[in-house]
């Protein structure tokens, strides 16, 4: 495993967490966090990817507000309701530019969890530079939230890169009909592999450590993460 270097980096006014193999790498990933933002677990995800040779840059949906790990959940939900689709995607595009132009990455993908999972699918349909899209339990409810102005399924159908999407069978936020709509959009594509995981009984956000007191979630996370890492390595490898 390579040595890694990690730090908080300001990218054109955007707060980010950067973790990469010492000296950088040609493989890159843009991480789109869950509601807790760039908390301890997302930093660990980034460090793990860096340890596997992938430069990992994490978007901060909360724009440098106090540590999400120390913020009450009701406040985080308020912040989430204020997120603007178009503005958030513009920030992600800026970070993809940074990964390519400033960090020297040649193949860059994106991985998101929950709210970040939804954004990963939409970003994949918009920005065809992406080498992959990984969407962990994307938050695409049956009735869109008021600030969900873009249709995730519509953009999912436009993704050209290989996609891995992971759905928990016990998801109480995303009904199975929404998952099936996303899956149909993936499988309607003329190009780009579709790898779909279903974890029966697992809950929304099963990858979050605080949900691992439920052994179904812990088992799902333990099984899913190594496969996601292998998929990322395979799709960002520069020949």
What is the tens place of the pLDDT at every residue in 66-90?
767 778 989 999 999 999 999 999 9
Supply the pTM of this predicted model.
Answer: 0.97
**What does the alpha-carbon distance between residue 3 and residue 18 come to, in Å, rounded to a whole number?**
14
Structure tokens at 239: 């020949």
- Nearest CA-CA partner of 56 in 91, 86, 29: 29
What is the tens place of the pLDDT at every residue in 176-219?
999 999 999 999 999 999 999 999 999 999 999 999 999 999 99
Contact 49, 232 (CB under 8 A): yes
Cβ atoms within 10 A of the Cβ of 232, count? 25
């Amino acid at each position: 495993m390579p040595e890694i270097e990690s730090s908080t980096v300001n990218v054109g006014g955007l707060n980010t967490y950067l973790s990469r193999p010492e000296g950088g790498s040609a493989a890159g990933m843009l991480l789109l966090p869950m509601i807790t933002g760039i908390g301890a677990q997302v930093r660990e995800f980034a460090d793990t990817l860096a340890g596997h040779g992938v430069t990992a840059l994490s978007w901060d949906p909360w724009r440098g507000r106090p540590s999400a790990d120390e913020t009450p959940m009701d406040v985080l939900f308020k912040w989430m309701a204020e997120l603007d689709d178009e503005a958030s995607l513009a920030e992600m595009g800026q970070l993809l530019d940074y990964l390519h132009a400033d960090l020297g990455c040649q193949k860059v993908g994106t991985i998101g969890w929950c709210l970040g999972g939804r954004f990963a699918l939409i970003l994949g349909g918009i920005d065809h530079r992406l080498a992959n899209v990984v969407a962990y339990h994307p938050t695409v409810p049956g009735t869109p939230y008021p600030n969900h102005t873009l249709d995730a399924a519509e953009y999912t159908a436009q993704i050209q890169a290989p996609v891995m999407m992971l759905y928990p069978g016990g998801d109480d936020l995303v009904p199975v009909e929404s998952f099936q709509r996303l899956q149909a959009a993936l499988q309607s594509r003329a190009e780009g592999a579709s790898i779909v995981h279903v974890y029966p009984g697992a809950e929304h956000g099963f990858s979050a450590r605080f949900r691992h007191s439920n052994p179904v979630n812990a088992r799902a996370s333990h099984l899913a993460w190594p496969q996601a890492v292998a998929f990322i390595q395979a799709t960002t490898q520069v020949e």
